Amino acid sequence: MVQANLDILEERIYSKCKSSGRDRSEITLVAVSKTHPISLIEEAVNCGVIDFGENKAQEFKSKTEEFKQDVNWHFIGHLQTNKVKYVIDSAHLIHSVDSLKIAKEIEKRASKIHKIQKVLIELNTSGEHSKMGIRDYAEAKELAVYCRNSDSLNLTGLMTMAPYTEEEEILRNCFSELRKIKNKMNDEGFALTELSMGMTNDFEIAIEEGATILRVGSAIFGERNYSKQN
């Protein structure tokens, strides 16, 4: 199942990159494995996937301790300060830094293990109250400055979540806004490279708007069964 799904997904990604004048190599596909068993992660690895995303700290910890193959683990969910300890050892990239408080905790924990932790700042570009992320540019810039001045944090880009809708204009505006913020920050010297945006229902629009990291779950693993979480 996973191989067939990946074949379809890769064809869609390649096609959209080609029509958008982009190269497939510019984009990292993160297979969102939350709620899915280790057996499906193993299947995906056997199909060539090397990046996996989890959104719950304790599930992240459990899976990274159990799964010993050399893959990149991405933490993509909201992270509380008291849960950073579950994530810091194994996280290749933390996508969801949304406050100075959480940045300081990640910095503290990373420093203790002599690690430079790659992070993204999460922004709320949809305006939805149900979504996490920073809405104010000045606050985002303050956080970016803090990360830049830290010896234990490496800020590489930005992340956002679009609304769950089929209205293309809403999705496009959400993604283009993140790209504009990235460009503005880069004009101010931050040298950001990554835009983590786009999921199963909207990744093609995200590619058109400059995404460099796609977070795709159900198009790879099928629908989630929340009654059987690891």
pTM of the model: 0.96
Neighbour-count burial of 84, counting CB atoms closer than 10 A to its CB (0-12 exposed, 13-18 middle, 19+ buried): buried
Task: Give the pLDDT confidence of 5-40 residue by residue, as tens digits.
Answer: 999 999 999 999 999 999 999 999 999 999 999 999
pLDDT at 226: 58
Residue 155 β-bridge partners? 119
> How does pLDDT run across 172-190, given as a tens digit for each residue?
999 999 999 999 999 999 9
Determine the pLDDT at residue 223: 82
In CATH, what number does 2-220 get? 3.20.20.10
In the chain, where the domains are located: 2-220
142 closest CA partner among 105, 97, 178, 194 = 97
CA–CA–CA angle 87, 2, 73 (5° rounding) = 15
Question: How far, in Å, CA of 17 to CA of 94, rounded?
Answer: 25
Asked if the model's pLDDT at residue 230 lies above 60, the reply is no
